[in-house]
Amino acid sequence: MGRLFAGAFACRLLLAVTTTWPAGLAVAAEPPTGLTASYSIPVAVTSKLPSENVPLDPLVDFDKALSAIDAPGVLDPNSIQVREMGTGRVVAHSLGDSFGVGNSGHVQWVAARPNQRAYEIHFRTTAKRATLRPRRFTPLIGVGDLLSYNAGVPRPITMRFPARLVDLTGDGRLDLVGTLPHYYAPGGELGGIVCIPQVMAGTHGELEFGEMARLRYKQSAGDNQLKHFMGPYLVADVVDVNRDGRPDVIYTTTSKTTRFQSDRSIHKFAHVFLNSGRRDAGGMPEFVFDRKFPLPTDRSAGDSGEHWWGPVRVVDLDGDGLLDLVVGRMFSDQAGVTRDSRCYFLKNTNPQGWPMRLADEVVIDCGCRACFLDVDGDGRRDAVGLILDPDAQTPYRGNLVTWRKNLGGETPRFGPPRRFPGLALKHTTFLAAVDTPRRRGLLLNDKRTHSVRFLEHLGQSGPEGIRLRNHVIASRSADVVAGDQASPFPCDWDGDGDWDLVVGGGNGWPTVILNEGTDRRPQFSVPRQIHSEGSPIRIFMSQVFPGIRGYFHDMGYPFPSYVDWDGD
């Protein structure tokens, strides 16, 4: 997955930066009210700065600073300010990812002048830790930080494998939860399960979200250490499996994950982590490992380790009131020019519901990577999945979203695939059902940019009609994302004097991202495909390398440039 980094060519200098406490931790002159008070931490760069615009990113442990002076309350991360000592000028800054789950991390800004080496980090405390709000402006620092749209309006956010809209923060809003493959940012974790909290719902149903936070777990309730869910590839569902009123996590991963941690059988099971009811310093639930269920296997795979690993859905598929398990067949479901529409249904036979007691798997034909939602309003959950798009330029990831009517039965049967009326739905590689009292519908990713939309199900409009409303999942602090392994090329595409980006991506579509701001304070538009002779340019491997038509991984990975080749 490709993110664009600020300062791609900037060197990270080895500077001596000091933060001072407790003696240097000063309470603001105005007396604190309750647990709310103002503090500042002096920061001094003791090295000589070699030039203008040097990036700084000291690691600051705010909990340690407050503990050193026995200060009450907890950090409000939205109150952090960086100021130049001497001038008092507020310097634009950004925060490292770890502030999504805690109160320690990198505070990042740019030293504009070589002689400006003294700063103060100001912040306030509150009685309860606040969730990070979307930032109005995220500056370009140059320490491997991610490039933000900075458009002043919500822009699409990325989620390769969306799982659910579910209230994880406890504020009553539906947050986006899903998984990321590979690395999302330099120095980050390999894959992971993440939550992007909802911050606002518009009058017309629009959904606006905030900053991404990683979910973490403990191997047992007595552990002190929180761990990250590991990839590189993993899929998850977030459901209250034990009916205690709190959403839990179940996930599966691939055999590739065994290369990065010690559990050599991790890919052979669906792993269940229960919500402990406790929260980390960032406000996210702490999950605790509870049990694991063996996954179905394909005997023809032998000892290759190719166990079918997802999607994993926890859903009452047969209508008996008990949550069952359904597992798909990634990635065999997209090999060659067909789609493997089979899933494994594992019925829950425990009349109490929990713990699950799963029967032997039964193969059901319900669509590629299916999720389950009552589409036609008959009270049964229908299957929504992918079929091959016959008009796709290349079969790899060339899909159409369809639904299949649930025909009933103790082992559910499903009818033939049907298209959703009036909607193309042709660039999705992964989808998930949203089935809550407040919102129902589908989360659909987009292979071109890995953005996500929510196709809200508004009910029926006649015997055959389905009313749907499309929402882009967006945030004012969204990172600029342009598909798999994006390759940005800075240039002035539109001739207005500032730098834009021409970007290549894994699925083969070169795109342009226009800068609607300035060189120093860029504001970016959403990625737009580049057209030639009336159609989007797309480059994939079978066009370039002869003899590989039908190759199962027929992607593109172009690295475009934009130069005056002929000097005109």
How would residue 14 be classed by pLDDT, with cut points 50, 70 and 90? very low
Burial class (CB in 10 A: 0-12, 13-18, 19+), 16: exposed
Residue type at 283? G
Q: What is the per-residue pLDDT for 32?
A: 45
CATH of 155-475, one of 1.10.10, 2.60.40, 1.20.120, 2.115.10: 2.115.10
Helix (H) or strand (E) holding 67: helix 62-68
- Rounding to the nearest 10 degrees, give the CA dihedral for residues 77, 165, 335, 536: -70
Q: Which residues pair with 19 in a beta bridge?
A: 43
Nearby residues of 482 by Cβ (< 8 Å), 6 or more positions away: 2, 4, 449, 488, 503, 505, 511, 513, 527
Q: What is the per-residue pLDDT for 372?
A: 98
Residue 81 to residue 43: CA distance in whole angstroms = 12
Mean pLDDT on 150-158: 95
Mean pLDDT on 533-541: 92
Statement: residue 413 has pLDDT above 70: yes
- The SS3 call for residue 132 is coil
Answer for the pair 515, 522: CB distance below 8 angstroms, yes or no: yes
Mean pLDDT on 400-405: 96
How would residue 547 be classed by pLDDT, with cut points 50, 70 and 90? confident
Q: Report the phi/psi class of residue 11: left, alpha or beta, with left for phi > 0 and alpha for psi in -120 to 50.
A: beta
For residue 348, give the nearest of 192, 464, 241 by alpha carbon. 241
- The SS3 call for residue 149 is coil
Burial class (CB in 10 A: 0-12, 13-18, 19+), 101: buried
Answer for the pair 93, 52: CB distance below 8 angstroms, yes or no: no
Mean pLDDT on 180-200: 91
How would residue 17 be classed by pLDDT, with cut points 50, 70 and 90? low
How would residue 307 be classed by pLDDT, with cut points 50, 70 and 90? low
Please tell me which residue, 334 or 70, carries the higher pLDDT value.
70
- The SS3 call for residue 563 is coil
How would residue 18 be classed by pLDDT, with cut points 50, 70 and 90? low
What are the pLDDT digits (tens) for 318-339? 999 999 999 998 877 666 667 8
Do the strands 104-111 and 535-536 form a parallel or antiparallel pair, or are they unpaired? Answer: unpaired
How would residue 9 be classed by pLDDT, with cut points 50, 70 and 90? very low
Provide the residue ranges of all domains of the chain, joining segments of one domain with +: 17-126, 155-475, 486-568
- The average confidence (pLDDT) of the chain is 89
Residue 278 to residue 280: CA distance in whole angstroms = 7
137-146, 199-208, 445-454, 490-499: least confident range: 199-208
Give CA separation, 368 vs 189, 284, 324, 343, 385, in Å.
29, 32, 18, 8, 5
Q: What is the per-residue pLDDT for 40?
A: 93
Reduced 3-state DSSP string for 204-263: CCCEEECCCEECEEECCCCCCCCEECCCCCEEEEEECCCCCCCCEEEEEECHHHHHCCCC
Upper half-sphere CA count for residue 275 (Cβ side, 13 Å): 23
Statement: residue 551 has pLDDT above 80: no
433-437, 481-485, 500-504: least confident range: 481-485
What are the pLDDT digits (tens) for 99-126? 999 999 999 999 999 999 999 999 999 9
Answer for the pair 44, 56: CB distance below 8 angstroms, yes or no: no
Answer for the pair 208, 476: CB distance below 8 angstroms, yes or no: yes
Give CA separation, 242 vs 322, 415, 437, in Å.
11, 31, 19
Say what percent of the chain tops pLDDT 90.
Answer: 68
Residue 333 to residue 500: CA distance in whole angstroms = 38
Q: What is the per-residue pLDDT for 76?
A: 95
For residue 476, give the nearest of 283, 213, 282, 207 by alpha carbon. 207
Please tell me which residue, 200 or 463, carries the higher pLDDT value.
200
Residue 290 to residue 356: CA distance in whole angstroms = 12
For residue 442, give the nearest of 402, 406, 500 by alpha carbon. 402
Taken as a whole, the chain contains a residue count of 568
Answer for the pair 404, 417: CB distance below 8 angstroms, yes or no: yes
How would residue 546 be classed by pLDDT, with cut points 50, 70 and 90? confident
Answer for the pair 75, 123: CB distance below 8 angstroms, yes or no: yes
Residue 165 to residue 186: CA distance in whole angstroms = 27
